[in-house]
Every structure is written in C-alpha cells, then in structure tokens.
Amino acid sequence: MNLAELGRKTLELFRPPSDESVSEWADHNRIIVGKSAPEPGPWHTDRAPYQREIMDSFSRRGIHDIVVMSSAQVGKTDMMLNMIGRMIDLDPGPSLLVFPAEDDTDNFSKERLSPTIEATPVLREKVFGGSGSTIRQKNFPGGFLSMTGAISPGGLKSRPIQNLFCDEVDGYPASAGVEGDPLSLAKKRTQNFAFAKRVFTSTPTVKQTSRIYKEFLRGTQEEWEIQCAHCGEYSQIVFDDIRFTKTVTADINGNKEYEVTDAVWRCPNCQKTMQEHEAKRAPAKWVAYNPKALQRGVRSFHLNAFVSPWSSWKELCKKFLDSKDDPEMLKTFYNLELGLPFEHKEATAVPDQLYARREHYEAEIPDGVLVLTMGIDTQDNRLEYEVRGWGREEESWGIQYGVIPGRADEESTWEALDEVLDREWKLKNGRKLKLSAAFMDAGGHFYDAVTEHCAARRLKRLYPIRGDNKDDGPLMHKAKKTKNGLTAFFLNVYVGKRAILYNAGVPIPGPRYMHFPDNENAGYDEFYFRGLISEMVKPVKKRGVYVEEWTKIYERNEPLDCCNYARCAFKGLKSIDLDAREERLYGSVKIKPADTNGGIKKPKGLISGGIKV
C-alpha cells in the first residue's frame, strides 16, 4: 500500500456516515443467497414494503432501540442482515449479535451471514480481505461483529459495543450461567456509546414472561395498516376480520381434517371485502399506538403473517382450524402465525365441581369409548394408575383409578399390575375391550426394574417413560432404546399437564370433555380430583426476569401424572382406525355431516387496531 492509498483509507475512517438508509443500501447492494432463501437474487424492499420503515429506523438519528415482535416468515432475519451489511459498509463500529444458543450462532454465520458477505461486493473485500475473521467474529475496518449465545456470560460481559443485535430473545435462557438475564447483560455493553443502536427481534411466547412483548410495550407499538379500497380507511389485518369458507372431513382416527377454499379480508369500517392479492398490494402505513415512546428513541413494530408475501391466507386459516381445539397447537399458532404472545387459560376446573359432576355408567365402558390406555406413576412403596377411555376428538372417560401396594422391584407388585394389563373391560352390548397401550413412569429409584419388566411385557404394549420438565415443544419429543431393546419415550410433562388442566375445564360433553364415573369402586373420590387439579403455573421473578413456574396446590399429584401418562399413550397411537373400531364395538359408524359454515369466531384476545393489554 503506497502513501497516497494509506492516506485515503485513513480519511475514510473519519468520514461521517453516509445518509443512505438501510433500505436504499439493500436495494443497491444486497444479493439474496443461501439454501433457505425463498427468493434468491437482488434485494427489492418493495417486495415486502413493511420492511422499509423497520430497517430505516436503524439508520435514522435519534432512534436507539428497534423492536420487532412478529410471526415467522416476515423476513426479520433478512432485515437484520441488511442492517448489519449497511453498518459494516457505511457506519462501522464494535458490534455484538446474540442468539439463544451457540449452535444458532454457528448456523447463522455459516448459512446466512457468510454467504451474504461473499455475494455482496462492498462487504466481501472489507470482511474477507485478510482481516482474520472467524465463524463467530467478522472483522472489518473500523469495527467488528462478534457473535455469541445467550447462555455464555463471557460473551455478554466483555468489551463495550456500539451496535447490539438480539435475535429470538424469547428463546434466551432465564440466566446466562449465574450472571442473570442475558438480555440485560447485553444491553449494559452499549451504555458507553451515546449513539448506540439496539435491535431486538423475536416471535413471542407466553404473555406473562415474553421478553419481546415487554420490549414491544415500552416502544411505539406500531401496527401495519392497509387502506380499504372501498372506504379509504386504514386498518390492521387481524384474524378477526378474515372471512373464509371451510369444509370438514374426518380421517380414520376420527380427527377432523379441514380444507379452506376461500379467504378474504373484511374491512372493520365499511364491512366490504378485499381479496388477498388486493389487500397485500393496497397502500399501507405504520400506525403508532404509543407515539410518546418516539421521544425516548424506542420504535416497536408488530407483524403477523397475514401481511407477508410468503404466506397464504387459506393456509393460515387452515392452521388455525387444525389448532383451535388444542392448547398446545394454539399457542404455536398465536406465536408463529399471529406474532402474538399466548396467554394460557387458567385452570377453571374446581375439584369439588368435578366430583359433583360424576355420572352413572351403564357398563364398565360407556358408549363412545373406542380406545383404552393406562398411565402408571411409580412411587417408592406403590404404583398408582388410571385406565382411561378415549373417543373421537379426545373426549375421554375415566374407567378405573387404583393403587397397587409394593415396590417396583418386587415380583408381587408386577403380578398385581398384570391383572390390570390383561383385563378385558365390558361394554353395555357385551363386547370387550383391552388396553391399547400403557405408559409407566421409569423415573426415580427403579429405572432398571421398570425398564426390565416393561421389556418382558412388550406384547402388552407397556412402555417406560421419562419426564422432561419442559413447558414447550412437542408432547413426546424423543425416544430411545433401553438396554433391553425396548423403546422408552421422553415426555414434556408440563405440556401434557397444561392440556389436562384445559380439558378438565371444558364444561360441555364433546371434544376434549372429561367424564368420570360415580361408582365408588372405580376410585374417583375427592382425593382423586384434588390430585388431578393439584398444580398450577405462576410467573416468578428470578434474577430480574419473569419465568413461569409450576407449583403444587395439593401435595399429592399422582392423579394428574397418571392422567397425563394415559393421555400421552393415547396421543402416541398412530395406526388405530377408529371407524373400524367403532364398527366392531358398536355395529355402526356415526359420521357427522361436513361443516361448511363460512367464517369463524375469532380467538380470544385478538383486537383490531392494535394490541390491547
């Protein structure tokens, strides 16, 4: 490098940042690449115009915090990449990018960031031009971009930074080691810079503990509103205003299958409708519902999938129909499609009321039951179990709750359990039904004994299970082979418990309703119902951040565990033909006519014109 070139590059370091906005920079320079890119090629902000104001807030003076609470598939990762690219090229500085986990960091760097830099000429020379960059740190003239996981206290507490990018903040752990809330630790690293920029993005999770929802509320709370072609008024597209036509059929397991044939948006002002392609091309703007936050330099934006060019309204409506009767799936719909935090329904069931609504069964198995499963809880000196019957749409009937005295490593205990496993239960018409599956707790002190005896009873479909105390993700998230060669299932027990508490609060017989017999010999006494409604969730503040924590209302929670395991056993059955079983047990199949009603009642909590608290 000669003296003139050295002088030129030195002057560039002191040049004021360009006035070119992030969206302008992206339109001029960005090339979309990578295996996950839905539309490879030159970047065009007009493809998703709601992105422009979000990105340009990063390059606007006086704005310090940019918060994006959104659904999936709205392009928030690409928006962040554009902010990073413009920063590297035109306004470099020490920067930090934080992900929930270390693996997320490596994946993003290899699959998104590095290909973007390589494909963008103005970035390629600065980052890869002999600067010693690594997977987790990109160096460039005037600054660097360090990447870390939120679990790493060292990565969050080192040198000061000017630009902070925090992705999927609701996925951060409650504490970075023992240091406290990782988001707070990362924010502190920017306090030495008067013109620091902080970007927070995430799909939300649970309302009581969502970090991104908290950040959204302290900002301008902006919603993307479109102009109605008929009345000219601007309104947000919310699910409450989507009208659609659906048809319903049932698969062989009795589960409803939905097809949505048409979906339109109805203007909340004039009640006239617009097609999806018209609404997405209509004039639109951001409307702030807390504009005073702009004085503090905090802009927050909410996006749902209905405005995304990469989402289909018919598919979104189908996803809602598939999830509306299942709190586990409904939470996912709220978070990933509506971009809203989910508020879990509190347990409305009361033990005394459940006891009072017990009903008379005309046989051991009442009409409607198609499948029997059992859940077994292993204690140090006994086994407790529940046999539960299942019909269509997860309507269920308590059949027997019992206690078997003895340790799980004693033969006499297993001989008594075999009597239940081998038993045939009678219907009113004289036909009989045996257990289709049983899940048994293998935790505690008897793992080897339980897995050994379950392996010896594999033909009875008795499976050992272990519980993970997770409140998110699939009900059964993995399985492994025991040393006896038997499949052992791992359950996210709190996901299942939420479903049980929800089902117990369903007041009318039908989908997800729980029946209980009034026969005293069946074991459904006052103690059972206290044990069934024995736990609840409370938000608890730990190290400066709220987390949801399960607490016991009643000490004995075995009935809740047994019911949870029995339900998991039922949900794990994939190949039972309920039509064939109903034909065999009852002599006919009752098929309800398809539902073709247009529209549907909105999910509770969706309010047009902004998020209300």
- The domain ranges of the chain are 20-218+295-303, 351-586
Confidence of residue 8 (pLDDT cuts 50, 70, 90): low
Task: Determine the Cα–Cα distance for residues 201 and 165; give it in Å rounded to an integer.
Answer: 8
Task: Determine the Cα–Cα distance for residues 6 and 182; give it in Å rounded to an integer.
Answer: 41
Q: What does the pLDDT look like over 158-169, one tens digit per residue? A: 779 999 999 999
Confidence of residue 215 (pLDDT cuts 50, 70, 90): very high
579-582 long-range CB contacts below 8 Å, 24 or more apart? 579/252, 579/254, 580/252, 581/370, 581/371, 582/370
Q: What does the pLDDT look like over 327-370, one tens digit per residue? A: 778 889 999 999 999 887 665 678 999 999 999 999 999 999 99
Task: Determine the Cα–Cα distance for residues 224 and 288; give it in Å rounded to an integer.
Answer: 9
Cβ neighbours for 118, distance < 8 A, ≥ 6 positions apart: 33, 124, 128
| Angle formed at CA 206 by CA 150 and CA 53, multiple of 5 degrees | 70
pLDDT surpassing 90 at residue 599? no
- What is the pLDDT at residue 19? 83
Parallel, antiparallel, or unpaired: how do β-strands 437-441 and 462-468 relate? parallel
Closest by CA position to 239, among listed 141, 168, 354, 318: 318
Closest by CA position to 115, among listed 128, 97, 98, 130: 128
Q: What count of Cα atoms within 13 Å lies in the side-chain half-sphere of residue 550? A: 17
pLDDT surpassing 60 at residue 607? no
- What is the pLDDT at residue 4? 66
pLDDT surpassing 70 at residue 604? no
Highest-pLDDT range among 212-226, 337-351, 501-515: 212-226
Name the burial class of residue 145, with classes exposed (0-12), middle (13-18) and buried (19+) by CB atoms within 10 angstroms of its CB.
buried
DSSP 136-183: SEEEETTEEEEEEETT-HHHHHSS--SEEEEESGGGS-S-STTS--HH
Confidence of residue 611 (pLDDT cuts 50, 70, 90): very low
Mean pLDDT of the chain: 88
Task: Give percent of the chain above pLDDT 90.
Answer: 65
Q: What count of Cα atoms within 13 Å lies in the side-chain half-sphere of residue 275? A: 4
Closest by CA position to 278, among listed 348, 226, 350: 226
- What is the pLDDT at residue 125? 86
Highest-pLDDT range among 14-28, 184-198, 485-499: 184-198
Q: Which residue did the predictor score with more confidence, 179 or 267? A: 267
Class of domain 20-218+295-303: alpha beta
Cβ neighbours for 243, distance < 8 A, ≥ 6 positions apart: 263, 264, 265, 266, 273, 598, 599
pLDDT surpassing 50 at residue 601? no
Task: Determine the Cα–Cα distance for residues 441 and 430; give it in Å rounded to an integer.
Answer: 33
Joined together, the tokens standing for residue 407 give: 């340790």
- What is the pLDDT at residue 528? 96
SS3 state at 587: coil
Confidence of residue 610 (pLDDT cuts 50, 70, 90): very low
Q: Which residue did the predictor score with more confidence, 547 or 463? A: 463
Residue 360 CA: distances (Å) to CA of 205, 393, 515: 41, 22, 10
Q: What count of Cα atoms within 13 Å lies in the side-chain half-sphere of residue 273? A: 11
| Angle formed at CA 69 by CA 607 and CA 57, multiple of 5 degrees | 115
Give the pLDDT mean for 137-161: 86
| Residue 85 and residue 61 in contact, taking contact as beta carbons nearer than 8 Å | no
pLDDT surpassing 50 at residue 423? yes
Task: Determine the Cα–Cα distance for residues 148 and 98; give it in Å rounded to an integer.
Answer: 5
Task: Determine the Cα–Cα distance for residues 366 and 389; give it in Å rounded to an integer.
Answer: 9
SS3 state at 211: helix
pLDDT surpassing 60 at residue 323? yes
Give the pLDDT mean for 296-312: 96
Identify the architecture of domain 351-586 in CATH: 2-Layer Sandwich (3.30)
Q: Which residue did the predictor score with more confidence, 604 or 351? A: 351
pLDDT surpassing 70 at residue 613? no
Give the pLDDT mean for 32-42: 77
Give the pLDDT mean for 94-114: 93
Parallel, antiparallel, or unpaired: how do β-strands 256-266 and 273-275 relate? antiparallel
- What is the pLDDT at residue 12? 61
Cβ neighbours for 461, distance < 8 A, ≥ 6 positions apart: 435, 436, 437, 438
Q: What count of Cα atoms within 13 Å lies in the side-chain half-sphere of residue 435? A: 30
